[in-house]
Amino acid sequence: QVQLVQSGAEVKKPGSSVKVSCKISGGNYAIGWIRQAPGQGLEWMGRIIPFAGTPSYAEKYQGRLTITADMSSSTVYMQLNSLRSDDSAVYYCARVGSTGSYLFFAYWGQGTLVSVSS
C-alpha cells in the first residue's frame, strides 16, 4: 500500500526558509512537489527520482527551491528559501504512477500548510 506522510504545519517569517518532509512507503518512483495557495489552483514546483537523486525544478523556483531524497529513511524533502508572503500555501508531495507513462501523480500526501507572515 502506497502512503505519503508529510510533516506538520509551519509558520515562518519572510526571508526565512522552510523544509517539508514526505515519508514514502510503497515503491521507489519519482516524487513531485505541488503547491496550492489559498483559493488558487495547483502549481507544479519540481520533482526528484529518489534513487537517481537528480531533481528538476519549475523555472520560477530555480535558485530558491531544493528537493532532496534520503533513501535510508525513504523520505523526500522540499526546501524553499527566501520566503515571501505569497509562498503561503498548502504544499503537497505526490508519487507518480507505476504504469503507463509514469508522468502522472497517482498518490498524494496529506498536504502541509506553510504560512509566511511577519
Partner 1 sequence: QSALTQPRSVSGSPGQSVAISCTGTNGDVGGHDYVSWYQQHPGKVPKLIIYDVTRRPSGVPDRFSGSQSGNTASLTISGLQTDDEADYYCCSNAGSSRSVFGTGTKVTVL
Binding site for partner 1 (CB under 8 A): 30, 32, 34, 41-44, 47, 56, 58-59, 92, 94, 97, 100-101, 103-106, 108-111
Q: Does residue 83 contact residue 15 with C-beta atoms inside 8 Å?
A: yes
| Polymer length of the chain | 118
Of the pair 1, 72, the CB lying nearest partner 1 is at 1
Q: How many helices (H) and strands (E) does the chain have?
A: 0, 11
Of the pair 80, 94, the CB lying nearest partner 1 is at 94
Closest distance of CB 26 from partner 1, Å: 15
Of the pair 57, 77, the CB lying nearest partner 1 is at 57
Taking phi over 0 as left and psi of -120 to 50 as alpha, with beta for the rest, 74 belongs to left
- If we measure between CA atoms, which residue out of 99, 83, 100 comes closest to residue 11? 83
Closest distance of CB 41 from partner 1, Å: 4
